[in-house]
Amino acid sequence: MVIRCVLEALVTSHQKLIVHRDIKPDNCFLFSDNLADTKLGDFGICAEDNGFNCVGGIKGTKGYMAPEILKKQQYGRKVDIWSTGVLAYQLLFEYLPFPATPAKTTMSLFQSKPKLTFPDMIPISTEGKDFISKLLADDPDNRPTASDALAHPWLL
């Protein structure tokens, strides 16, 4: 439910050409005991993405930032899709999919193209793995839009 709510918020913000840039648990707000009442908040570092002058700069929270941000490349709305994939993974497994260690910074981690793995101790369906893998595609062009992610069978 939380991921569905985040994606619904992203559909709206992305239609308005707004990139959130800081999707993480601390920015998902519950207004009742019902997870369907989750709201995405803290648009404090959001930026406009008009498709021509993509946003830039290293903004966001370590562990949730997309590879293109860490590589100091131009980026757009797909960074929010990446962060939503990290959030989905964390909600399921209680840790980040690509944790940095003191010896290996997050930036150097993505220069080596880490492989996404799923722990065996917590079962997840093939559809769930497919959903998270698509959101965490290294190439932003291979990530779904928020609307397409909402239509994924795992969320239906």
- How do residues 118-141 score in pLDDT, each as one tens digit? 998 899 999 999 999 999 999 999
Annotated binding site, which residues? Answer: 42
Helix axes 2-15, 78-93, angle to 10 degrees: 170
Of 57, 44, 56, 43, give the one whose Cα is nearest residue 14.
43
Structural domains counted in the chain: 1
Active site residues: 22
Supply φ then ψ for residue 76, to 5 degrees: -140, -150
Supply φ then ψ for residue 30, to 5 degrees: -100, 130
- By the 8 A CB rule, do 88 and 99 touch? no
User: Any idea what the CATH number is for the domain that residue 62 is in?
Assistant: 1.10.510.10
- By the 8 A CB rule, do 116 and 132 touch? yes
Annotated binding site for ATP, which residues? Answer: 42
> 124: domain range?
2-155
At 7, the amino acid letter reads: L
At 12, the amino acid letter reads: T
Averaged pLDDT in 10-residue chunks for the chain of 156 residues? 94 95 94 84 88 72 90 91 98 89 55 81 94 97 98 96
